[in-house]
Structure 1
């Protein structure tokens, strides 16, 4: 059976990284944007990371500009923005597409595992996928779900 550990993603440096590197850890995988009304969720995501990283939590951020082009074109601008404005220390990866012909394979898998309401497509920035320690997608959260609302589900995996 395929899990998230079977995927390789592109780091901001351009190098690739296997998600097997996160094996045994619960993950929250999020499509992010730096210029969106939901961008302040970076603060809540970082708070979750600070609170639960010692228990194994990994948060993986994937910038996406598909929704009103609300992401910088240059990945260095994205990472600098996230670090300076929200103190982001969790891993951020290269800019990707989450819908359409060029959908990143990881996000195609995530959407297949946990579809949204009416469609599997991601509707907006900050859609979140909770993954258990075995690499299985257990829950999908709407873009408007604040990170602190995920704590109960997260604590069950820790």
Structure 2
């Protein structure tokens, strides 16, 4: 698939789940940033146009689960480059952003965030201390350089914590 009729997305009134991942020949930048009004779960990335190059998006407030997949052409080093997501998000997965160094500046507006998953982000990643009291679960896998020390007081808020290099 090389193209995607993203201008038709707002017409899909009953669509709640959408997954478009690892379609590196698909030229979709979702210009206009309009999405189905009932979209609850979005898994996206690994497209011809990197997420960081998209226009600002207007995600519906119904969006609660977001899974972002980086790709070889993704040059995001700071999560603030991807921080145009609604505060309604309760679960966020960040996968394969190999140059990502910090999520500190991009998560502070996600006031409903309860679950955070970070996979295969190879650079040194700094997690903000303010994030921990909000989370119910934190999973880190394939991220050998996460810098935050996970001492007991810091992670005592978490019901589930998993870390594997």
Q: TM-score range by the shorter chain?
A: under 0.3
TM superposition score normalised by structure 1:
0.24
Report which structure shows greater RCO (CA 8 Å, sep ≥6): 1
Q: Which has the higher helix share?
A: 1
TM superposition score normalised by structure 2:
0.24
